[in-house]
Each structure stands twice: as C-alpha cells, then as structure tokens.
Copies of this chain bind each other. A is one copy, B any other.
Amino acid sequence: MPHVIGELLAGVILGPSLLGLINPLTELEVLATIGVIFFMLSAGFEIDLKKLMRTFKEGLIVASMGVLLPFTLGMILGHKYSMNFTQSFALATCLSITAIGLSVRVFMDLGMLTSRVGLTVVNAAVDDDVIGLILMSVAFTLISEEKGLHDVVITSISSSAFLIAGFMLGVVIASNAKLRGLIRSFFLRSVKSLPLRLTLIIAIAFLFGYLAKLSGLHEIIGVFIAGIILNMLVGAEERAEREIIDFTFAFFALLFFAYMGVKTDLRTLQNITWFTIELVGIAFIGKFLGGLIGSIIAKLSLREAIVVGIAMNSRAAVELVIANAFYSLGIFSKEVLTALVIMASITSLTTPVLLRVSIGRVGGDIHKSL
C-alpha cells in the first residue's frame, strides 16, 4: 500500500481531537502549505521534461475530456435543482478541478511517476489547473459583470505566458548539454557547502512558485516546473536534491497529506442529502468517464485509460478555495458548500485506495517507465 494512505488515515483519525485545539491546527496548516510546495518540488525532481513532453497531447486530451464531462453534468445537476445559470456554472467549475497532489503522490509511492500513465496524469493535471483557472475567471465575470471579459483574457494570457516561458526555459536547458554543464559546474564550484546548495535550490523553487501565483496559477505548478528545470541542472546524482526529497517525504509531505486527512471531518457526513449523493455520483462518473474516454481518444490502452480515469478523480485544495469564495459571495448556499466539501473529502480519500487497487488489478506493463 502507498504510504500516503496511512498518512491520510492518521489525519482522519487524529482530526477531530486536533480540531478542538486551534493553535496546533494553524501551525499544521502553515506546515501543510509549505509541505505541498516541497512535495511538488520533489515531484518535479523526478520528472524528465523530454519524457513529459511525449505525453503532452495525451494530457491535453485527457484534461479537456476530464473537464467537459463533469462540467456538463454539473450544469445539468444545477438546472435540476433550479439553480440559475451563474450558480450552475460555479457548481460545474468546482466539479471540474482535479487536485494534482494525491495522484502524483500515489504514483511516486508506487514508482510509477515516469510511466505513460503517470506522465499523462501529470500533464493533464497541469492543463487542468489552467482550464480551471479560466473557468473560475469566467464564473467571477458572470457574478460581477463590471470586470467582464477583460479579466478572463488577462488571466488566460498571464497563466499561459508563465507556462510557455517555463516550458521554453526548460527546452533550452534540456536541448543544450553544454549550457547545462556550464551552469552545473558553476553551481558546484561557487556553492561549496551542502546546506547552502539546499538553500539556493529551495529559494529558486519558491521564486518560481511566487511567479506562478502572480500569473494566476496555483503556486505548486510553478514549484513543480522549478523542480523539473533544477533537476536538469543540478542532476539526480547531486546529493542536495536527494536530501530535499528525503526530508520532504519524512516531514513535509507527511504533514501535508495528514492535514488533508485532518480537514476531512467525517462528522460532516451527517449532513448528507440527496443533492450530496447526486453530486458525489456525477463527480465520480464525470471525472472517471472523462479521463477514460480522453485516454482512449489519445490512444492509451484500456488498462491505462482506467487508471487515468481513477487518478483524475481527487478534488481538494483549489476546489475548496473556489467553493468557499462562491459561498462568501452568496452564490452558494451553506448546503451546496457542505455538499462540495463532502464531495472533495470522499473523492480525495478514495482516490489513493482505488488507484492502488486498479493498478494492482489491471497489471501488465503499465508500470513501465517511458
């Protein structure tokens, strides 16, 4: 079993007692925020840009289908419960945003991050973040018409610009062995102490995260790109990178995933309504079928397509932030917000388990690194 399942469970079990003590929870929250940054940096370290690009098209198709289906189902559900267009649109948006962290973690735990399935999901999750961002901007435009189309365009441009710039930088470095060698030897010569090397790598990662956030994307996308680029420069054989990965999994990632468990307050399950059940149902069906159909269109094998469909299902951080924003703007009622929180908890908690089981069942060569 992947370690992440134990971490989530520990969080769920310890959660109710921790929730009584406010201060440790704040501290845990801060550590979790920093934790996911280190986690995505470590994930980036394990990704080879050239391999990642080989599944670029697959990822884009999976992301598109993985948004289209749950979004459509969300609009229909909203209509069924007599929501107006804006409310339905907001609901559909919340249904469409995959959380990248959990599936990446499971793939890492199982040593499958560089398999075709793993790389397709990573690509899809990055695209998903951009699509989700655009949908969110559109939703906010629907709410306050003043800002209007202008904002949607700005957000789309700035986030795409960041991704393209990061990609270009990556390609330049990836395709230029001499440049890599130069930067690498300069780094090793000018920064002799290991802790200083760690500090420099961490600082660069946080800078990329900050720039991603400025562009409108989630900061972890920026840190992830920094990880991919730094890995090409510093190299997997460099001890600094290894130590960051070790420490991340020993401390930061553990706290982040345990915190996901802590926030999953099972007591909210008391508030399940028919709406909640239908919401959770279309969340599962929409993302699974979207990922599955997308994968098949992208010519993945059926086995791989099933795993991709399951991997796309978790929703967490970003979705909850948006849901809370819609709630505080009066778009969502308390009931809808609660249903969305329950949906995020159930999809997040079940994804690692379902993913593990499905990978075990379909077997074959889907573990193979690309």
CB neighbours of A30 from chain B (8 A): 26-27, 30-31
Could you mark each residue 167-203 of chain A with 1 if its beta carbon is under 8 Å from any beta carbon of chain B, else 0? 0000000000000000000000000001111110010
Complex contacts, A33 vs chain B, CB 8 Å: 27
Q: From residue 18 to 74 of chain A, which have CB atoms closer than 8 A to chain B?
A: 26-27, 30-31, 33-34
Contacts A243-B243, A247-B243 given; indicate if A199 touches B27 (C-beta within 8 A). no
Q: Which residues does chain B contribute within 8 Å of A254, judged by CB atoms?
A: 199
How far, in whole Å, are A277 and B250 apart by their CA atoms in the complex? 47
Q: Nearest Cβ distance between residue A315 and chain B, in whole angstroms?
A: 25
User: Please, which residues of chain B bring their CB within 8 A of the CB of A27?
Assistant: 30, 33-34
A327 at the interface (CB under 8 A from B): no
Complex contact A246–B31 (CB within 8 A): no
Question: In whole angstroms, what is the CA distance A244 to B249 when docked?
Answer: 12
A251: B residues at CB distance < 8 A: 198-199, 202
- CB nearest to A27 among chain B residues: B30
Assess the A247–B244 pair: CB atoms within 8 A: yes
| CB-contact partner of A250 in B31, B34, B195, B250, under 8 A | B195
Task: List the interface of chain A (C-beta within 8 A of B).
Answer: 26-27, 30-31, 33-34, 194-199, 202, 243-244, 246-247, 249-251, 254
Task: Identify 17 residue pairs between A and B in the complex whose beta-carbon atoms are under 8 Å apart, listed by A's number.
Answer: A26-B26, A26-B30, A27-B30, A27-B34, A31-B31, A195-B246, A195-B247, A195-B250, A196-B250, A197-B250, A198-B246, A198-B247, A198-B250, A198-B251, A199-B251, A202-B251, A243-B243
